[in-house]
Amino acid sequence: LKAERERGITIDIALWKFETARYYVTIIDAPGHRDFIKNMITGTSQADCAVLIVAAGTGEFEAGISKNGQTREHALLAFTLGVKQLIVGVNKMDSTEPPFSESRFEEIKKEVSSYIKKIGYNPSNVPFVPISGWHGDNMLEPSAK
């Protein structure tokens, strides 16, 4: 959508479907922005698995994991709506100091794990994947970073 491009956010849900030898897969891109939470709920309520994207940037992660932050809200909504499988993508790893900081990734993993355990997920069953969507690192192929 033009409005999504202009604002740099997802507004509506988008669907992509494909088939593997064992599964029919529908990927639902649901908005994360607070103004469009109803659309996010619509997409999430249909999901078997959620990919929770967490920003690694200084200040961004802290805002999301804070008491009324969107990271907490989205994880809680996913669990409440019956999504039992969760994957956490730690995005913007290129913007950490230093870039692709392993210690920053581990700090985020520890904090998110602590929170998702409180709401009902088993963190040992939740993969955490460091990524950079901007550069495409670790998105489709393993990254050397």
The backbone region for 40, taken as left when phi is positive above 0, alpha when psi lies in -120 to 50, beta otherwise, is alpha
Confidence band for 7, pLDDT divided at 50, 70 and 90: low
How far apart CA 140 and CA 142 sit, in angstroms, is 7
Strands 49-55 and 24-29, how do they pair? unpaired
Same domain, 66 and 122: yes
Give the 3-state secondary structure of residue 56: coil
Same domain, 116 and 75: yes
* Closest CA relative to residue 33, chosen from 65, 11, 63: 11
For the chain, percent of residues with pLDDT exceeding 90: 57
Same domain, 122 and 79: yes
* Per-residue model confidence (pLDDT) at position 30: 65
Does 9 have pLDDT greater than 90?
no
Query: Has residue 31 been placed in a domain?
Result: yes
* Closest CA relative to residue 101, chosen from 145, 44, 135: 145
Query: Has residue 139 been placed in a domain?
Result: no
Query: Has residue 140 been placed in a domain?
Result: no
Tens of pLDDT, residues 80-101:
999 999 999 999 999 999 999 9
Query: What's the domain range around 37?
Result: 1-46
Most confident of 39-43, 68-72, 76-80, 110-114: 110-114
Query: Has residue 141 been placed in a domain?
Result: no
Question: Considering the entire predicted model, what is its pTM?
Answer: 0.83
